[in-house]
């Protein structure tokens, strides 16, 4: 299993879904390949995220991200973010920072319940840039 698939499975396992009432319920989630055809519900999903360096675990303060949902586009700068989007819909997430490889995923908690997801996005360093006379 690739590292990115293992990471997404770990994220899915961290989702705790809350019914539209006070009762907590843990359910399985999955990564979506395509947006659903159905209408979003009244319930919402909340993603609280942190962007860190994959090699040392430190937060990346100059990270930038864009999240596109059915309710609009949300942009953030810095190492932490929080957003809400309707249940039964998809969130396209893209994060980048200077010196790191970009991170992109499509997330969807597919149950019609209020959900809270904590996610740590671990950006991989881009590695050294080789400068040659031809590249100048």
Per residue in 5-35, pLDDT (tens digit) is: 666 555 554 543 333 334 444 545 555 444 4
The residue written with tokens 């989630």 in the block is 29
**In this predicted structure, which of 3-12, 17-26, 84-93, 127-136 has the lowest mean pLDDT?**
17-26
Which residues fall within 8 angstroms of residue 122, CB to CB, at 6 or more apart? 7, 52, 53, 54, 57
Nearest to 91 by CA among 118, 68, 64: 68
Full set of structural domains in the chain with CATH = 3-30+40-126 (2.60.130.10)
Phi-psi region of 88 (alpha: psi -120 to 50; beta: other; left: phi over 0): left
Q: How many of the other CB atoms lie within 10 Å of CB of 48?
A: 12
Q: How far apart are CA 65 and CA 68, in angstroms?
A: 10
Q: What pLDDT sits at residue 89? A: 80
Upper half-sphere CA count for residue 6 (Cβ side, 13 Å): 4
Give this prediction's pTM: 0.60
């Amino acid at each position: 299993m690739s590292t990115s698939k293992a990471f997404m499975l770990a994220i899915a396992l961290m989702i705790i879904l809350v019914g539209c009432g006070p009762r907590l319920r843990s359910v399985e989630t999955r990564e979506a390949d395509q947006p659903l055809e159905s209408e979003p519900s009244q319930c919402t999903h909340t993603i609280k995220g942190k962007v860190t360096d994959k090699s040392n675990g430190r937060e990346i303060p100059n990270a930038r991200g864009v999240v596109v949902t059915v309710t609009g586009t949300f942009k953030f700068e810095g190492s932490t973010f929080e957003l809400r989007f309707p249940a039964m819909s998809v969130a396209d997430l893209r994060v980048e920072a200077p010196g790191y490889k970009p991170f992109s995923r499509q997330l969807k908690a597919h149950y019609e319940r209020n959900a809270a997801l904590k996610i740590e996005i671990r950006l991989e360093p881009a590695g050294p840039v080789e400068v040659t006379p031809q590249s100048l």
